[in-house]
Amino acid sequence: MTERITTPFGFASTADEVIAGVDLTGKRAIVTGGAAGIGVETARSLAAAGAEVVLGVRRVAAGEQAAADIAASIGAERVTVRALDLADQTSVRQFVAGWDQPLHILVNNAGIMALPELERTAEGWEMQFATNFMGHFALTVGLHDALAAAGGARVVSVSSSGNLFSPVIFDDLHFAFRPYDPLLAYGQSKSAEALLAVEATRRWANEGIHANALNPGAIATGLQKHTGGLKSPREMHKTPQQGAATSVLLAASPLLDGVGGRYFEDCAEAPIVTERPADYTGVAAYAVDPDNAERLWDVATDLISQGVTKGR
């Protein structure tokens, strides 16, 4: 059993504190969902450290406003915007096809939460699983060559304490049999995002690509629009800058050089738990299980192949 990783940073640390002294000049980063919430703060901190950052966003106008705000705050124009709808595999393929440079940092940040009714994509996939996981899976795999060309790249999967609500239910991913439950669907998608980091590292570490997952904490953003806001105790709440800290740590800190396949919260590796804790900390064992990760990768690959065939 490997020792859990800790850092000098913690619950209250901000993204700017985590990245202080790090020089990302010459590095390229993509942040999905970078127009708001912790995404825009992640992009801001990476750009302030010198990285060229692309916001992959569904609403381009909002992304352009965020890029302008970042430019004004850091005194430099290092952020650009490209259209990316993670629920639309055609949009993901177009984004990938338009990328032709080495990629040093990929932050899979965008997400949706607790849709009140069952919604499906054109492929018939449940919408939260499709957006939070399948879109990011296709994006990550599609950008593999760009990540490998960087000579040392990092992939960051923004998961959630929601992983504690459900494992990936391989026999019914899209609620064809189970009654739809908004939080179970969300939990499944967030477990899947954690598993993506495990398997990407196993497959690609020998190419210099390392992936880790994280829980950013409780941050009041548009993500909770279907849940009536944050339900956690106030003392657990973070600002967007604090919420982005663990993402930025995994994306850029030299403290994490060569580290992959792990799950972090509050700027430290989270404990693996076998039942849901009262304070919703830690990561479920099933969300970092190597066998689950390999199986999910194969299932997702088949789903994408079937989706492309179906769309012809």
Q: 216: which 2 tokens?
A: 């950013």
Question: How far, CA to CA in Å, does 139 sit from each of 58, 132, 229, 283, 292?
Answer: 14, 11, 29, 24, 20
Among residues 180, 186, 263, 280, the one annotated as catalytic is: 186
Beta bridge partners of 57: 83
CA distance readout (Å), 2 to 107, 259, 261: 25, 12, 12
**Region of residue 47 (phi > 0: left; psi between -120 and 50: alpha; otherwise: beta):** alpha
Helices (H), 4-111: 15-19, 37-48, 60-74, 89-97
The token pair that represents 293 in the structure block: 């990760």
- Asked if 186 is an active-site residue, the reply is yes
d(CA 113, CA 274): 24
Residue 22 token pair: 């790090």
Provide the 8-state DSSP code for 35.
T
Return the active site residues.
186
